[in-house]
Amino acid sequence: MGVWRMAGMADNLCRLCEIYRQAGDEKTRQMTMRLIEGIPAKERTGEELYAKRLDLCGACKKHAAGTCLSCGCYVELRAAKKGAHCPEGAW
């Protein structure tokens, strides 16, 4: 599994926590987590693939504080759906 780092990222935070630390938006984090939890298990991305997708989003120039500037989605929500894809073809 790749190591995902954003500029200024704290060492002790997971990818998702770091996205929201930088965004500073707790309500958005809670809403997104509820949406991810609402995805049926069979449609949810496996842990390894999910991390890989977020690695790619984290290194992407179109990523800004958890949002994809290409499509406007929350990257961690999009990445959590097994059948989803990156609008720029990164994953």
Helix (H) or strand (E) holding 35: helix 26-37
Q: Write out the two tokens for 72.
A: 């406007």
User: Contacting ligand SF4 (CB under 6 A), which of 36, 50, 51, 63?
Assistant: 63
Total chain residues near ligand SF4 (CB under 6 A):
12
Comparing CB distances to ligand SF4, the nearer of 12 and 44 is: 44
Which residue matches tokens 């929201």? Answer: 20
Stretch that binds ligand SF4, among 6-14, 29-37, 39-47, 55-63 (CB under 6 A): 55-63
d(CA 75, CA 73): 6
Nearest in space to 88 (alpha carbons), one of 5, 78, 80: 78
What residues line the site for ligand SF4 (CB under 6 A)? 56-57, 60, 62-63, 68, 70, 75, 86-88, 90
